[in-house]
Amino acid sequence: MPKTQSDVLSASTLVKVAEEFGTPVYIYHAEKIKTQYTKLKQAFAKSDTRFFYACKALTNINILRYMNSLGCGLDTVSIQEVELGLRAGFDPKNIIFTPNCVDLQEIIAAKELGVNINIDNISILEQFGNTFGGSYPICIRLNPHIMAGGNFKISTGHVDSKFGISIHQIRHIERIVKSTKLKVTGLHMHTGSEIKDVDVFLRGVEIMFEMTEHFPDLESIDLGSGFKVAYQPGDPETDIDLLGEKLTEAFNKFSAKYKRPLQLWFEPGKYLVSQCGYFVVKANVIKQTTATVFVGVNSGFNHLIRPMFYDSFHLIRNISNPQGTERIYTVVGNICETDTFGWDRKITEVREGDFLVFYNAGAYGFEMSSNFNSRLKPAEVMIKDGKPHLIRKRDTIDDLLKNQVEIAL
């Protein structure tokens, strides 16, 4: 939840957007993205640091263009995200491609587009080296064997993770690099999301420092991201200023000893867009059982799956009756599965037809949405300089049918 009023779009603004564009609707506050990016830049101002937006969090092309206008790079995990980034105007050298479990052809496609390639498994490393040798520089993603993150499903650096090449396979990596003459210019790691302990990053960077002795041509060390933001009042979050101070000291000290200047890279996604996003829905029904008062809304996990998938918390407020008496509700969706957004929430009295808002909905909200139950995906709106702009139309029934091929039966 944003801490200051200047970071928050008002209830009246959200209601106006809902009335103009309908619900459900995702709303993104451009200036909040800029605030978050500026915080990162300031925290690491004393080191040679670059930031690449992890666009898997939210790939609307208008968001990508805005990130590019701020000077941010782009972190991608699929060739389609690479292509979206290029269409949004990113220079290939400002795009990182870090896929997982793809075949060599997708890696080759990224090479042909001229982006930074990050390889995370032995098989592809060997295939790429045998095919291209040292003609195209690459990065290598390592698994540091660090358990971190707010949920096991978003922890990516532990011993059983599918991501990265184990640091204990360093001799195997060395043999491939030497025999195929690969040029390795970057090392990468990512331990998980929602990391509030600064020491996790410090442990990670120390491991990366140890790994550099095996690679004489490095230009960058990439620590991924995982910065935690607050989801409710009092929620802990990553102390970015403290992280910047401690990492800058450690990195600058090490960089001075290395054979050439090094850049420090990060790939924030949720940190940049989570708090910029608001998801507004309409209360369809108020349903009381023997033990619970349900608010049934015109959405479900087809639009916002995080509470069901990760047990994640989203603050929910009634923006149609913000001064009403607080009551206890369980907010549920209109899908034919159990799609509970929040149990026993204190919300000002909800009437059928009221608008409710879910905060922190910018990351992995629309991006993970679906057409389950043949429900239509919602619209997206960006507010910039106080003006709302429609940046994605709401689905129509034709969108459900557009790729289906009817056959004679």
Residues annotated within a binding site for substrate: 306, 310, 337, 364
User: Which of these, 312, 344, 327, lies nearest to 231 by C-alpha position?
Assistant: 312
Distance of CA 12 to the CA centre of its chain: 28
Active-site amino acid positions = 336
Which SS3 state, helix, strand or coil, does residue 230 take? coil
Enumerate the known binding-site residues: 226, 306, 310, 337, 364
Of the CA atoms within 13 Å of residue 296, those in its CB half-sphere come to 11
**Running DSSP on this structure, what letter comes out for residue 219?**
-
26's tokens: 């995702």
Instruction: Give which of 390, 362, 302, 371 is closest to 57, Cα–Cα.
Output: 362
Q: How many CA atoms lie within 13 A of 77 on its CB side?
A: 15
SS in 3 state form for 238-281? CCHHHHHHHHHHHHHHHHHHCCCCCEEEECCCHHHHCCCEEEEE
Q: What angle in degrees, to the nearest 10, is found between the helix axes of 170-180 and 122-132?
A: 10
* CB burial readout 331-352, b (16+ within 10 A) else e: bbbbbeeebebbeebebbebee
φ/ψ of residue 150, rounded to 5? -80, -10
In the numeric block, the tokens 């607080």 are attached to: 326
Is the separation of the CB atoms in 298 and 22 below 8 Å?
no
The whole-angstrom separation of Cα 139 and Cα 394 is 39
Which among 76, 49, 5, 11 has a CA at the least distance from the CA of 255?
Answer: 49
